[in-house]
Chain A
Amino acid sequence: MTENPPNALPASLLEAVALTKRFGALVANDHVSLAIRAGETHALLGENGAGKSTLVKMMCGLLQPDSGELLYEGAPIVFPDPASSRARGVGVVFQHFALFDALTVVENVALGLPGHEPLSALAARIDDCVHRYGLAVEPWRRVGELSVGERQRVEIVRCLLGDPRVLILDEPTSVLTPDESENLFRTVDLLTDEGRAVLFISHKLDEVRRLCHRATVLRGGRFIAEVDPKAETAGSLARLMVGAEVPRLPRVLEHELGEPRLLIRNLNIPGDGSRGSALRDVNLEIRAGEIVGIAGVAGNGQTTLFEVLSGEKLADDQESIVIDRVPAGGLGPTERRALRAGFVPEERLGHAAAPDMRLSDNVLLTTHSDGAIVKLGVVRHSVLNARFQEIVKRFDVRFGGRDPKARRLSGGNLQKFVIGREVLRDPVLIIVDQPTWGVDAAAAAFIRNTLREKAAEGCAVLVISQDLDELLEFTDRIAVMCEGRLTVPVPVAETSREAIGLAMGGAEDGGEGVHAA
């Protein structure tokens, strides 16, 4: 799909005109306009918090605008609820999937369609759709058992069975492997060839430039520009999105590697059925001063690996995990922290931080046994507060009020807080799961830079991430996790996206790890 649609300017199918939405004092959308035409892939670009999701929710009836209007084929229209927008052919695939884990694929699909079609007939239609658009989905499986990529395909199939004229994809590639993304792009091209319109929400600039015919850029809830992404560079689009230059990290930092800080030896963990995948014979060594990345599609054992490294799950063999020369396989999280290890889990609210506790109390959650803050079982509030203030200051954590509950912070600020909390414990080993998931570009750059600096100071860093670009940007070596096995880590300079992508898909490479061919 390289051509523009036949008519230079077909009438817009769905148009937002000067939509405004306020949440209290926050203006999430301030007179935002956007027109989607039949047969085009239209990108909606913006940082986290730029107002993309709010705009989409207003365009499909999940939210009502405070002012402004929607036009459908040029005529004003009001969508009081999502059902009414769907009836007009507007389908949405949400970033946080609107799926029901306990139900089967076909039941999930049925819930998104009107009428009382028997499930068996519906399953047949799902199979048709699967073949037509190349979306591999099995109708009778339970959604709770599916990988993230499969779940997304379920969502897309559900939308397509409603025969939508406008398909809105909210950050569709953030959870996909490069290979899965390619498949998605092919599907999108097929859809626009059929005359459907696709609104493609993303902050991945390369994808947008490849796939989209037009792009609308939002920043801080305002319309910034409508551009032809193919005529822009990634840099110029990033400037529009961020409003300033995004600092690039220096590619390679030279420093000496020290002694091994983390040793994983023949680590085997059986799967527990529903949630955690098994780990099979995992080996890894991380030395002081280096950053090792673990790439892989979600659900291949990364969660289990994080849990077993942080001590939430214990290994059977004490020797299979060695932290700073101390066998730690059977030690709990507090004992591992006492060995000066720091852990930043993937889920910020509920795992890294208690949502309804104040930030200062959240500091205590990982520092309670460090000695300085708790003396004889009594919390020393002055010391705790000093630490809290230091985190806020050094890591530029922004929030309203003096000491809000953790859930009030934006994703980026909370992540900076959580990283800061671990870094200020002065660890010799930091293990981070998805360091910049859902974090805006500026905060992400800051977080990566922080980890870089810690490595330069002699800390060993392990980064588990599904964002391959991120791993290629700031780690020293990359290993790939697939079905519970970990490949031999390879220096970033000696590998390529393609090689890693293949390994993520489980391609065997004769023990060569992820070396470029």
Chain B
Amino acid sequence: MLDAAIIGAVLASIVAAATTLLLASIGELVAERAGTLNLGVEGMMIVGAAVGYAAAYGSGSLILGTIAAMLAGTLLSLVFAGLAIWLAANQVASGLATTILGLGLAGLIGSPFVGTTLTAAPALHIPVLSDLPIVGPVLFGQDAFAYASIALLAIVAYGLARTRAGLVLRAVGESHVAAHALGHPVRRIRTLAVMFGGACAGLAGAQLSLAYTPFWASDMTAGRGWIALALVVFSAWRPLWLLGGAYLFGAVSILQLHVQGFGLGIPSQLLSSLPYLATIAALVVISALKRGQGAPASLGVPFVPDR
């Protein structure tokens, strides 16, 4: 029956599933708080996964692979930034183009590696703490990506709320006209925010292909970039709610797999849709409770300064 080891394994896979979403959505949250809606998350993520896998496979270093993945995500985000920020193109169209471009590029980059495998990123064992039953491996026996995602979330939450850079970034997302009138370089700030989003999506891709499922498959992101985008909206652009959303989605998507494994006679299609239903339900509850804070007021609006 269910013993501690199984529960531990389930919890660990929940953490892994949530980490992918968390990494990607933190970056998108920053970009959106600056006023840019980048629908290219899925594309940047899969390019990160492909480049990260290729670099790690070639060099034998997971660290190099991770860095390469982040750089690749950033580079692709610059395509979006160039179109949507500097040429003031429609952000939705630019983002979709970025995703389509990313999916194609990733397939090309990854094609030599189909069928290969890597050694997954190791869990970092913290002595004593990680030996505690159940909570030990879950809280203190994860890989570096999981810790990085939590650290990143804390940094972003603190940075947005408490630092001047965060204040300026939020201001640009609220009213680019006012921010411009006060002398803040709106387009540069947005570009940096989008680049951060790209790096995070690339990191999420690396987590996917180097740790979560250490092989390459051309459709391995499987819509996780879109889920990350949705989570940003569900969280009402608040970092801490993002944490809850990512783990809720991760938990339901893993648990439904195990429920399918028990053979309870519930149609598997219904179970597969559970994570989405749970997220939608959470969205409805959150929007009903939500007071005051909505989307950044300038979200999705291109900024063209008068000259």
Q: Which A positions have Cβ atoms within 8 angstroms of B?
A: 57, 61-64, 81-84, 86, 92, 94, 97-103, 107, 110-112, 116, 274
* Chain B positions 169 through 205: 1 when the CB is less than 8 Å from some CB of chain A, otherwise 0: 0110011011111111000000000000000000000
Residue of A82, A100, A101 ringed by the most chain B CB atoms within 10 A: A100
* Chain B positions 273 through 305: 1 when the CB is less than 8 Å from some CB of chain A, otherwise 0: 000000000000000000011001100000000
Among B262-277, those with CB < 8 Å from A are none
A63-B306, A63-B307, A102-B293 known; A116+B164 contact, CB < 8 A:
yes
Residues of A close to B170: CB separation below 8 A: 100, 102-103
B165 → chain A closest CB, angstroms: 9
Among B131-177, those with CB < 8 Å from A are 164, 167-168, 170-171, 174-175, 177
Q: A99, B307: Cβ atoms under 8 Å?
A: no
B186 → chain A closest CB, angstroms: 11
Residues of B close to A62: CB separation below 8 A: 180-181, 306
Q: A99, B183: Cβ atoms under 8 Å?
A: no
Specify the chain B residue showing the minimal Cβ separation from A107.
B167
Residues of B close to A61: CB separation below 8 A: 183
Q: Which B positions have Cβ atoms within 8 angstroms of A?
A: 164, 167-168, 170-171, 174-175, 177-184, 292-293, 296-297, 306-307
A231 to B164, CA, bound (A): 49
Q: A94, B181: Cβ atoms under 8 Å?
A: yes
Residues of B close to A92: CB separation below 8 A: 181
Beyond A92-B181, A101-B174, A102-B293, 18 additional contacts (C-beta under 8 Å) are A64-B307, A82-B180, A82-B183, A83-B182, A83-B183, A84-B183, A99-B175, A100-B170, A100-B175, A100-B179, A101-B175, A101-B297, A102-B297, A103-B171, A110-B167, A111-B167, A111-B171, A274-B292
A116 to B165, CA, bound (A): 9
A–B complex contacts, Cβ < 8 Å, 6 sampled:
A57-B306, A92-B181, A103-B171, A103-B174, A111-B179, A116-B164
Specify the chain B residue showing the minimal Cβ separation from A158.
B182
Specify the chain A residue showing the minimal Cβ separation from B168.
A111
- Interface contact tally, CB-CB below 8 A: 59
B34 → chain A closest CB, angstroms: 13
Residues of B close to A63: CB separation below 8 A: 306-307
Among all A-B residue pairs, the 9 with the closest Cβ atoms: A83-B183, A98-B178, A98-B181, A82-B183, A100-B174, A112-B182, A116-B164, A111-B171, A102-B174
B3 → chain A closest CB, angstroms: 50
Residues of B close to A82: CB separation below 8 A: 180-183
A421 to B5, CA, bound (A): 75
B195 → chain A closest CB, angstroms: 22
A264 to B56, CA, bound (A): 75
Residue of B170, B178, B180, B293 ringed by the most chain A CB atoms within 10 A: B178
A100 to B35, CA, bound (A): 13
Specify the chain A residue showing the minimal Cβ separation from B177.
A98
Specify the chain B residue showing the minimal Cβ separation from A86.
B183
Specify the chain A residue showing the minimal Cβ separation from B181.
A98
B162 → chain A closest CB, angstroms: 9
Residues of A close to B296: CB separation below 8 A: 102
A62 to B182, CA, bound (A): 9
Specify the chain B residue showing the minimal Cβ separation from A63.
B306
A116 to B163, CA, bound (A): 8
Specify the chain A residue showing the minimal Cβ separation from B298.
A100
Residues of A close to B179: CB separation below 8 A: 100, 111
Residues of A close to B164: CB separation below 8 A: 110, 116
Q: A98, B307: Cβ atoms under 8 Å?
A: no
Residues of B close to A102: CB separation below 8 A: 170, 174, 293, 296-297
Residues of B close to A100: CB separation below 8 A: 170-171, 174-175, 178-179
Residue of B182, B306, B307 ringed by the most chain A CB atoms within 10 A: B182
Q: A99, B306: Cβ atoms under 8 Å?
A: no
A63 to B182, CA, bound (A): 13
Residues of A close to B181: CB separation below 8 A: 62, 82, 92, 94, 98
A94 to B178, CA, bound (A): 10
Residues of B close to A274: CB separation below 8 A: 292
A107 to B175, CA, bound (A): 14
Residues of A close to B306: CB separation below 8 A: 57, 62-63
B156 → chain A closest CB, angstroms: 18
A61 to B181, CA, bound (A): 9
Specify the chain B residue showing the minimal Cβ separation from A57.
B306
Residues of B close to A64: CB separation below 8 A: 307
B232 → chain A closest CB, angstroms: 17
Specify the chain B residue showing the minimal Cβ separation from A83.
B183
Residues of A close to B307: CB separation below 8 A: 63-64
Residues of B close to A110: CB separation below 8 A: 164, 167
B198 → chain A closest CB, angstroms: 26
Specify the chain B residue showing the minimal Cβ separation from A108.
B171
A172 → chain B closest CB, angstroms: 16
Q: B178, A99: Cβ atoms under 8 Å?
A: yes
Residue of B183, B184, B307 ringed by the most chain A CB atoms within 10 A: B183
